[in-house]
């Protein structure tokens, strides 16, 4: 049952070159649906993954805080699950930031990521990387060549995968007895509680609560043993699964708590949709007021989330002329749909904005700290959720 529609949207990371601005941009329906029986929330339309991930513009290394977060994950999990000589496989290894943080010389590493343009960066970091989509057949090939893995990691991956059963079969194939599958996904409850509608885009097919995750894993002989929560990326769930079925007592408690909240009910979801629509009106109103009072607003960060905010709220170049971003591969390109040019973050001084719309709000601490001089000059950050920083 559909409960939120964000309209017809270009793929969030389909940034445009200047000579593409006058061409027709592919747009696809972007909406969320709830399965009231299992509690899964998923997109109503699937964009072919080859269009989204073969050449990719998101780099894990673009945030030091996230690099540190994944280094901690890898260090803790390697210590707990990987003996000397063991194999660690990361699904969705991107530029090798996480795997290259492992400073143990007595373990073997393997990255798997379909983005060919980024896999070369991982290799340059010394991380052996297979540039393919993960699948059970690929897992079987890895096992044939390198044996089973003591640790399989997948951060911000499960939500991107259409065939979750094949992914889980592949993890079951790949995971050695006594090994662990550690994954991170945005937590649905945080998305709903904080109206994080801008984390909804075509790359993210599924939005997970604990119960549907446990059901999916158990279907494939994997037991959700541990669930932890982290504030990164707007609220993240980290799951640890092992061979077996069912769930641990602690995980069972979390599921009961979700049930008590009425998480998989349309009533709750309809309330979220109304909240998102109000946010859209409030943001447009605020930006229109700022323009009317002669204030200059520019965007900071050209994340996938930013494409959703600007297109869903109709924030064009008239309301916000440019967006800044620290990612060299994004600079000189334009935001999909609304076409703001993306300039280096260093342009903040020359642009002299009064207000910066912080599209990369999940990195607020890192960004506000780095751009302290802007605030000292009287500048203010505003998030798409109308928080002033
Ligand atoms: O699931 C996904 C998440 C994990 O990452 C992917 N599907 C896509 C991506 O989503 P995103 O693009 O919204 O990720 P970020 O990390 O919120 O993007 C932040 C953007 O802001 C990047 O383009 C880099 C930029 N940035 C910046 O300009 N200055 C980031 C920081 C920290 C900065 O200081």
> What one-character-per-residue DSSP string does 197-245 give?
GGG-STT--EEB-HHHHHHHHHHTTEEEEEEEEE-GGGSEEEEEEEESS
* Phi (first) and psi of residue 297, to 5 degrees: -120, 130
Say yes or no: CB of residue 211 within 6 Å of ligand 1. no
Say yes or no: CB of residue 312 within 6 Å of ligand 1. no
Output the pLDDT for position 266: 81
Cα-based torsion angle of the residue sequence 304, 310, 311, 316 in order, rounded to the nearest 10 degrees? -140
Say yes or no: CB of residue 202 within 6 Å of ligand 1. no
Output the pLDDT for position 154: 98
Output the pLDDT for position 95: 96
Closest atom, ligand 1, to C-alpha of 65: 32
Q: What string of pLDDT tens digits covers the 389 residues of the chain? A: 899 999 999 999 999 999 999 999 999 999 999 998 889 999 999 999 988 988 888 899 999 999 999 999 999 999 999 999 999 999 999 999 999 999 999 999 999 999 999 988 998 999 999 999 999 999 999 999 999 999 999 999 999 999 999 999 999 999 999 999 999 999 999 999 999 999 999 999 999 999 999 999 999 999 999 999 999 999 999 999 999 988 999 999 999 999 998 887 888 888 899 999 999 999 999 999 999 999 999 999 999 999 999 999 999 999 999 999 999 999 999 999 999 999 999 999 999 999 999 999 999 999 999 999 999 999 999 999 999 99
Q: What is the pTM of this model?
A: 0.95
Distance from Cα 279 to the centre of ligand 1, integer Å: 22
* Rounded distance between C-alpha atoms, residue 36 and residue 373, angstroms: 49
* Rounded distance between C-alpha atoms, residue 355 and residue 111, angstroms: 40
Please tell me the chain's helix, strand, coil percentages from 3-state DSSP, rounded to the nearest 5.
40, 25, 35
Mutate to test the pocket of ligand 1, among 157, 159, 360 (most ligand atoms within 8 A of CB): 360
Q: Which structural domains are found in the chain, ordered by start?
A: 2-33+267-382 (3.40.50.720), 43-264 (3.40.50.150)
Beta bridge partners of 32: 4, 43
Mutate to test the pocket of ligand 1, among 56, 205, 301 (most ligand atoms within 8 A of CB): 301
Output the pLDDT for position 165: 98
Distance from Cα 121 to the centre of ligand 1, integer Å: 17
Output the pLDDT for position 53: 87
Say yes or no: CB of residue 236 within 6 Å of ligand 1. no
Closest atom, ligand 1, to C-alpha of 66: 16
Residue 271: CB atoms within 10 A of its CB come to: 14
Find, among 381, 355, 341, the residue nearest to 295 by Cα.
355
Distance from Cα 47 to the centre of ligand 1, integer Å: 21
DSSP state of 32: E
Say yes or no: CB of residue 10 within 6 Å of ligand 1. no
Output the pLDDT for position 267: 81
* Rounded distance between C-alpha atoms, residue 234 and residue 185, angstroms: 11
Say yes or no: CB of residue 5 within 6 Å of ligand 1. no
Instruction: Output the six-digit token pair for 233.
Output: 């990326």
Say yes or no: CB of residue 301 within 6 Å of ligand 1. yes
Instruction: Output the six-digit token pair for 387.
Output: 């928080």
Mutate to test the pocket of ligand 1, among 190, 232, 324, 326 (most ligand atoms within 8 A of CB): 326
Output the pLDDT for position 265: 82
- Positive or negative torsion for Cα 44, 49, 55, 59: positive
Mutate to test the pocket of ligand 1, among 12, 51, 62 (most ligand atoms within 8 A of CB): 62
Instruction: Output the six-digit token pair for 212.
Output: 């549907």
User: 3-class SS at 366?
Assistant: helix
């Amino acid at each position: 049952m559909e409960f939120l529609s964000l309209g017809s949207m270009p793929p969030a990371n389909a940034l445009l070159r200047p000579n593409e601005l006058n061409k027709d941009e592919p747009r696809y329906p972007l909406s969320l649906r709830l399965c009231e029986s299992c509690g899964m929330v998923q997109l109503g339309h699937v964009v072919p993954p080859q269009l989204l991930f073969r050449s990719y513009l998101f780099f894990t290394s673009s945030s030091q805080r996230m690099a540190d977060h994944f280094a901690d994950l890898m260090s803790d999990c390697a210590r707990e699950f990987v003996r000397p000589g063991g194999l660690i496989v990361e699904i969705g290894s991107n530029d090798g930031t996480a795997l290259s943080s492992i400073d143990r010389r007595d373990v073997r590493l393997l990255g798997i990521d379909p983005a060919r343009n980024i896999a070369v960066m991982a290799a340059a970091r010394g991380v052996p990387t297979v540039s393919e989509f993960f699948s059970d057949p690929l897992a079987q090939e890895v096992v044939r060549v390198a044996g089973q893995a003591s640790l399989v990691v997948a951060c911000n991956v499960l939500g991107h995968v259409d065939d979750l059963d094949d992914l889980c079969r592949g993890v079951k194939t790949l995971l050695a007895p006594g090994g662990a599958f550690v994954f991170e996904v945005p937590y649905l409850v945080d998305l709903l509680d904080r109206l994080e509608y801008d984390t909804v885009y075509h790359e993210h097919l599924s939005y997970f609560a604990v119960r549907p995750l446990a059901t999916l894993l158990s279907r494939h002989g994997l037991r959700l043993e541990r669930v932890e929560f982290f504030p990164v990326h707007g609220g993240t769930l980290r799951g640890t699964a092992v061979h077996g079925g069912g769930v641990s007592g602690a995980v069972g408690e979390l599921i009961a708590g979700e049930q008590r909240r009425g998480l998989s009910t349309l009533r709750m979801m309809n309330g979220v949709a109304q909240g998102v629509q109000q946010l859209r009106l409030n943001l447009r109103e605020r930006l229109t007021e700022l323009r009317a009072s002669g204030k200059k607003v520019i965007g900071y960060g050209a994340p996938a989330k930013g494409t959703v905010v600007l297109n869903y709220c109709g924030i064009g170049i008239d309301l916000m002329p440019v967006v800044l971003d620290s990612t060299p591969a994004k600079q000189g390109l334009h935001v999909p749909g609304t076409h703001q040019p993306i300039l280096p973050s260093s342009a903040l001084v020359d642009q002299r904005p009064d207000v910066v719309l912080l599209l990369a709000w999940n990195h607020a601490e890192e960004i506000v700290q780095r751009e302290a001089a802007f605030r000292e000059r009287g500048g203010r950050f505003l998030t798409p959720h109308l928080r002033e920083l």
